[in-house]
Amino acid sequence: MRKRIVAGNWKMNTSQSEGIELVKSVIEKSIAVPKAIELVIIPPFTHLNEIVKYAKGTSLNVGAQNCAEWSKGAYTGEVSASMIKSVGATYVIIGHSERREYFKEDNRLLFRKIKEALSNDLIPIYCCGEKLDERESGKYFDVVEQQISESLFELSHEQMQKIVIAYEPVWAIGTGKNATSQQAQDMHAFIRATIAKKFSKEIADNVSILYGGSCKPSNAEEIFARPDVDGGLIGGASLVADDFIAIAQSF
Ligand code: PGA
């Protein structure tokens, strides 16, 4: 059975003390979330160490928003997967559309980051998704297929079993305009079929595919009800503990 995951990507928000208040509130409210739903908090790097301490002994998992493609060395400003692992985080987002757009990260670079994450025992949450013009011109399946094939197809079967995928149409991120549950389902089924064709049906059936993009308490239930949607990667709404927990309760 594939895991159901609700992950909160805080992006570049909160001071450390605000982050601690937020995580304390999420932990307190998380008793209302069924144990079968995995909750992940993804704060800025600077807060990871502290937040892991608060999350210890709770059902909460902690992840980072990015990692370097290299393991160590003279790369000023970068944070390696082993550093993230060393503070006790277990997940890492790879290839968020904001990284692709503002930091020019491409599919091949992301492949190297995924391998770094895997060799340090972190679970990559690999993000894919088309931009508005690619949606409107009807190219969205091709775009996502290329993102999947160029970043994931050289992984071994064993490595692929550790990947979580997040489908995040760029036009839905932070815009308040979510994909319809049908659009999400169609793309998630397509991604799963793409994984099945390259790897195996069993691997595809077990890969968790999260939806991201203006997911909120008012639309999560309908989106999560779709058979190929295994949870969400939540941006804005993850900064409000009540909203994040309400989304996780939407299954
Ligand atoms: P959003 O962001 O929920 O604010 O649209 C989602 C994401 O970027 O992961």
Is the confidence at residue 63, as pLDDT, over 90? Answer: yes
Domains (ranges, CATH) in the chain?
4-248 (3.20.20.70)
The answer to whether 156 and 196 have CB atoms below 8 angstroms apart is no
Give which of 65, 217, 248, 98 is closest to 168, Cα–Cα. Answer: 98
**Percent of the chain predicted with pLDDT > 70:** 100
Residue 9 beta carbon below 6 angstroms from any ligand 1 atom: yes
168 tagged catalytic: yes
**Does 96 participate in catalysis according to the annotation?**
yes
DSSP 62-106: EEES---SSSSSS-TT---HHHHHHTT--EEEE--HHHHHHS---
Ligand 1 contact via 43 beta carbon (within 6 Å) = no
Of the residues 9, 10, 66, 101, which should be mutated to test ligand 1's pocket, given the most ligand atoms within 8 Å of the CB? 9
Helices and strands: H and E segment counts in the chain: 12, 8
4-54 pLDDT, tens digit per residue, is: 999 999 999 999 999 999 999 999 999 999 999 999 999 999 999 999 999
Q: What is the pLDDT of residue 111?
A: 98
